[in-house]
Structure 1
């Protein structure tokens, strides 16, 4: 009788362990999305082009830097057009101190943003089309603004993960 009770207890315990393990695998093992995954997903709401089909390129220079976006497939005329439209609008916004798209995506505390908002009159922001995309050049002679541009570029590369590279 005691052996039967022991078997029932063991079978019951094993059943509970199996149910818990299966539940963990099916429901509880979901990892929170990484910051890069979150930025990629939210980016679809801020940028009209496909992040999967494009590449952000950030290049820091002695007097600022260049932010470029290019299509991965040169034949992708739809995303090419959307890149150019978006970056032209963003360049106009940045030149006026409006960084609402980047802060909406990356957050208000993103490195460099507060200085760029304050010092927007201390930098020249220029849009131009490039082969397979477009770019925004940031130029300044102000050391605080220069540091902010570089910090902002670093933060974007970090946040965008495989969607962005440095040159």
Structure 2
């Protein structure tokens, strides 16, 4: 084989290998050409980070995010209403989160979803003007966020929308 044909063959093989590698990277969660993550890979990454922060099993629970006129309501429930283990873990975690959020500590959501998640910076800055209340449910627990500031209500709604998107099948708009 002459040098010209060998170079063309090598270039073709290299191009095919690069294409296969990029295709595989996109499939397993690598960045897209525009630098963004694929939605499915982002949800998988969020679920993996969530397992290090949330003590309950994300596969056995569902988050419900409900925007309201004065803030938002977050319910986390066990998929099996009699799953006492998941219910106890949900309650423990949400009690801790209510306390942290009330002190301006949104570190857990930032660790799971990223520091740049929509609404997060505004919530951190305005935490003193948001009331966060915890309440048990028979199948889990609820956090209710209330404020009379439209900018904070909008930030809560943006924050919830980001979580809905990131949690995929493990989250729903509340009822």
TM over 0.5: yes
Distance 1:166 1:100 in 2: 23
Are 1:54 and 2:61 matched, yes or no? yes
Q: SS where residue 80 of structure 2 aligns?
A: coil
Larger Rg: 1
| In 1, Cα distance between equivalents of 2:66 and 2:103 | 22
Q: Write the distance in 2 (CA, Å) between the matches of 1:114 and 1:161.
A: 23
Q: Deviations over 1:12-54 (max 9, x none)?
A: x9xxx8xx89xx59xx735233100110111100100000000
Segments of 5+ residues of structure 1 without an aligned counterpart are 6-12
Moved over 3 A (4+): none
Q: Which residue in 2 is equivalent to 1:8? A: none
Indicate which of 104, 120, 137 corresponds to 1:130.
137
State the distance in 1 between where 2:155 and 2:24 align. 39
State the partner residue of 2:38.
none
Q: Identify the match of residue 46 of structure 2 among 39, 42, 53.
A: 39
Q: Could you tell me which residue of structure 1 aligns to residue 76 of structure 2? A: 69
Q: CA deviation at 1:75?
A: 2.1
SS in 2 for 1:110: coil
1:147 Cα offset (Å): 0.6
User: Helix, strand or coil for the counterpart of 1:126?
Assistant: strand
How far apart, CA to CA, are the structure 2 residues paired with 1:58 and 1:132?
16
Which of 154, 157, 163 is the equivalent residue of 2:164?
157
Q: CA deviation at 1:94?
A: 0.4
CA–CA separation in structure 2 for the residues paired with 1:60 and 1:29: 38
Q: Distance in 1 between matches of 2:89 and 2:131?
A: 23
Once superposed, what is the RMSD of the aligned Cα atoms? Answer: 2.1
Q: TM-score, normalised by structure 1?
A: 0.83
Structure 2 unmatched runs, 5+: 2-8, 30-40
Deviation (angstroms), 1:131: 1.9
